[in-house]
Amino acid sequence: MAKRIAIVGAGPGGLATALRLVAQGYAVEVFEARDRVGGRMGGLDQGPYGFDTGPTILQLPRLYDDLFAQAGLNRADYIPFLPVEPYTRVRFWDHTHLDLTTDQDQLKAQLAAIRPDLPAAFDRWYAQQQRQYARGYEPYLGQPARSLLGYLKLEELPAALGFRPWETLYQHFWNAFRDERLVYAFSYPAKYLGMHPTLSASVFSLIPYVELADGVWHPQGGFRALAQAIARAITDLGGRIHLNCPVQQIALRGRQATGVVLSTGETVAADGVVVNGDFARAVQDLLPPAVRGKYSDRYFARKQFSCSTFMLYLGLNRRYDLPHHQIYLSAHIRRRDRPFIDDSALDAVDPPFYVCNPTVTDPTSAPPGHSTLYVLVPIPHTGYGVDWAQEKQAYRDFVISRLPKLGFDNVVDHIQTETCYTANTWQDAYSVYLGAVFNLSHGLTQLGPFRPPIRSETVTGLYWVGGAVHPGSGLMTILEAAKHTAQFVRSDLPLSGNSTGTKGAGS
């Protein structure tokens, strides 16, 4: 009889883990509290308008190709990916802008207009990153976290030192370009790790490199369609997904996970349990204090968590011929004092913000001639006590008044549908600890062996997958974490007769 695996949560980490395990012959059941798969990637619908609610940037398509291929499936049969070019327009505090693109000739022409020596500086930086990616991606992102001493292998030290781990991401890009606009243009992904570039580790320079090298992509139909495609692959191979089915707790026999207890009181037996939920909330909600180990309320209170996000999802009766992704980097992004460096207070003067305009690439989310906009502003998490009942409407009006900075004029005259999320929404509706959507921050003391491990330290047969575990927050890294999780399950719960061959679509 196949080993039974219960997966709590149908976010991208849970879905990717489920697909890998069901393809190997495990009997997989996924339990999702919401009415759709995807977690924060699940999206929302308002009449004829469809919105992605979480991730909007797809990097390294090969990760998704590999996810489907190891199951004997072709990713393109389930969901096409559309290239986004230029992949991001960055507008700066001084009213200039830079279009980030995989077309290096076009990119270097823009750099030359800023300063004549910058194209050569870019070539040097890019060549260095090529070497670092080849030597560093697999040991540091493509493998499970090791102990601190485990990272001190002699054969890996040149790669580790090449990242200059004593430098911040800001210092890395300043040393390369000596222009603050370029520093912040290339280091903006640090915000998605919950960090200011002056606090983020230089190893994350790999993120802008992979965007420049492999591009940024958009799944046709949106990221919610990507979640549905992975779910369809799971069920095609015999896995089961239960929606509207909250899990109340992990079933235990001593310190052994034996299944899950549903909110109905029913216990579903399993040989192993994978939890794909916000780690801090899931530990507190699903495990009794006696088996949480060091992960007490006090532990989480001492940790540094990312910012939250203020979100507007707007359905419009017009289209804007503007880039798919745009970021406004205000002068406040350059501030290194609180609250700007840690988002510890609401910026109602000059915040940076991001707008996704997906209809320019993929018109399927809105009626003909209409469009959707996704607006994101970094805000304090709920630990800083912003009263959103009082602030929400005024901040909404303020954010909409800022949209012309990215070319979105007169938006308020064209709004047909509107949904607004605050930190409280993420905390209460999505069970995100403190509403900190990018999870534990990614400073040096919260990376690799200092993040919670995938294999539970206190409960046998229990595994965690998502943005809190190594390698960290973001779709690219969560897919790697799912691969690691499946490896741990196969190691700990091998199938009888070493039956670990891929099922394939026709099995």
Q: Strand (E) positions, 72-147?
A: 81-84, 88-91, 97-100
- Tell me the angle at which helices 475-492 and 12-23 cross, rounded to the nearest 10 degrees: 40
Identify the pLDDT of residue 16. 98
Residue with more model confidence, 377 or 167: 377
pTM > 0.75: yes
* Least reliable range by pLDDT among 97-111, 147-161, 175-189, 249-263: 147-161
CB 235 within 8 A of CB 22: no
pLDDT of 119 above 70 = yes
Q: From the CB of residue 70, how many other CB atoms can be counted at a distance below 10 Å?
A: 15
> Given pLDDT bands bounded at 50, 70 and 90, which one contains residue 194?
low
| 3-class secondary structure, 74 | coil
Closest CA to 453 of 466, 436, 438: 466
Mean local confidence (pLDDT), 438-444: 78
What percent of the chain is predicted at pLDDT more than 90? 77
Mean local confidence (pLDDT), 308-327: 97
DSSP codes, 335-387: --STTTTTT-S---SS--EEEE-GGGT-GGGS-TT-EEEEEEEEE--GGG---
Residue with more model confidence, 261 or 152: 261
- Tell me the angle at which helices 12-23 and 61-69 cross, rounded to the nearest 10 degrees: 30
Identify the pLDDT of residue 449. 74
> Given pLDDT bands bounded at 50, 70 and 90, which one contains residue 386?
very high
Taking the C-alpha atoms of residue 316 and residue 370, their distance in angstroms, rounded to an integer, is: 6
Mean local confidence (pLDDT), 228-235: 98
pLDDT of 226 above 60 = yes
Taking the C-alpha atoms of residue 89 and residue 98, their distance in angstroms, rounded to an integer, is: 6
Q: What is the separation of C-alpha 325 from the centre of its chain, rounded to a whole number of angstroms?
A: 16
Q: How many CA atoms lie within 13 A of 165 on its CB side?
A: 14
Burial class (CB in 10 A: 0-12, 13-18, 19+), 363: middle
Identify the pLDDT of residue 451. 85
pLDDT of 458 above 50 = yes
Identify the pLDDT of residue 507. 33
Residue with more model confidence, 457 or 145: 457
For all residues of the chain together, what is the average pLDDT?
Answer: 91
- Most confident option among 142-146, 247-251, 471-475: 247-251
Closest CA to 56 of 353, 371, 368, 358: 358
Domains and CATH numbers, the chain: 4-81+222-302+444-498 (3.50.50.60), 103-211 (no CATH), 307-434 (no CATH)
> Given pLDDT bands bounded at 50, 70 and 90, which one contains residue 506?
very low
Taking the C-alpha atoms of residue 89 and residue 355, their distance in angstroms, rounded to an integer, is: 10
- In this structure, what token pair is assigned to residue 243? 């929606």
Prior bond of 48 cis (ω within 30°): no
Closest CA to 286 of 462, 101, 483, 161: 462
* Least reliable range by pLDDT among 166-170, 297-301, 303-307, 416-420: 166-170
Identify the pLDDT of residue 162. 64
Mean local confidence (pLDDT), 344-366: 96
Q: From the CB of residue 479, how many other CB atoms can be counted at a distance below 10 Å?
A: 23
* Least reliable range by pLDDT among 294-308, 374-388, 402-416: 294-308
Taking the C-alpha atoms of residue 55 and residue 112, their distance in angstroms, rounded to an integer, is: 32
pLDDT of 443 above 70 = no
Phi, psi angle pair for 489, to nearest 5°: -60, -45
What percent of the chain is predicted at pLDDT more than 70? 91
Look at the alpha carbons of 180, 186, 192, 194 in this order and tell me if their dihedral is positive or negative.
negative
User: Any bridge partners for residue 421, and if so which?
Assistant: 311
- What contacts 122, CB < 8 A, 6 or more positions away? 104, 107, 108, 111, 177
Identify the pLDDT of residue 318. 98
> Given pLDDT bands bounded at 50, 70 and 90, which one contains residue 138?
low
